[in-house]
Amino acid sequence: MRALKTCLWLAGVLCLLSAFGLVLPVRVLERLMAAFGGEPFPDSPLLAYMLRVGSGTYVAVGVFYIILAVRPRNFGAMVPFSGLAAIFVGVVCGVTGLAVGLSMAWFVGDFACCTLLGVLILVFWRQGMRATSS
C-alpha cells in the first residue's frame, strides 16, 4: 500500500501546483509561458476564464487524490477510477497536443506523467487488494 499511497500523494501534489493559475495575474502567467517559448495569450476574457476554471478543477482533483492517499482501502472503486481518470487525462493531453501541432516539449510531460501515474495507481491498487484478500 505504501507505493499506492506515494503515487496518490504525488498525483495530488502535482495537481495542486495548478493553484498558481488561480492566484497569479494572467499577465504574469503569460510572461511565464513566454519564458518557456510559448506564444502570447490573446486578449480574451474567455481565456482568463478557462485558465481559472482549469486551474480550479485541477486543485479540486488534487485534493481528491490526497484524500484517497490517506486511506485508500476505505474508498473502494474510487481508487482504481482515479487511475483510469489519470490515464484518460494523459491520453487527452497527448492526442490534443499532437492534433493542434504543439511542440512535444509542451505536452509530453503531462502525457507521460498522467499516464504513468494512472497505470501505477492501477497496478499498486491491484497488488494491495490481492495482498489483503490473501
Measured CA to CA in angstroms, residue 26 lies from 19, 40, 53, 71, 110 at distances of 13, 11, 13, 37, 21
How does pLDDT run across 30-88, given as a tens digit for each residue?
A: 999 888 888 888 889 999 999 999 999 999 999 999 999 999 999 999 999 999 999 99
The three-state (H, E, C) secondary structure of 31-53, written as one string: HHHHHCCCCCCCCCHHHHHHHHH
Question: What tens digit of pLDDT does each residue of 103-120 get?
Answer: 898 899 999 999 999 999
- Give the span between the Cα atoms of 69 and 62, in whole angstroms: 11
Q: In the block, which residue shows the cell 504574469?
A: 28
| Whether the Cβ atoms of residue 5 and residue 72 lie closer than 8 Å to each other | yes
Q: Give the start-to-end residue ranges of the domains of the chain.
A: 2-133
Residues with Cβ within 8 Å of 20's Cβ and at least 6 positions away in sequence, in order, are: 29, 55
pLDDT of amino acid 38:
83
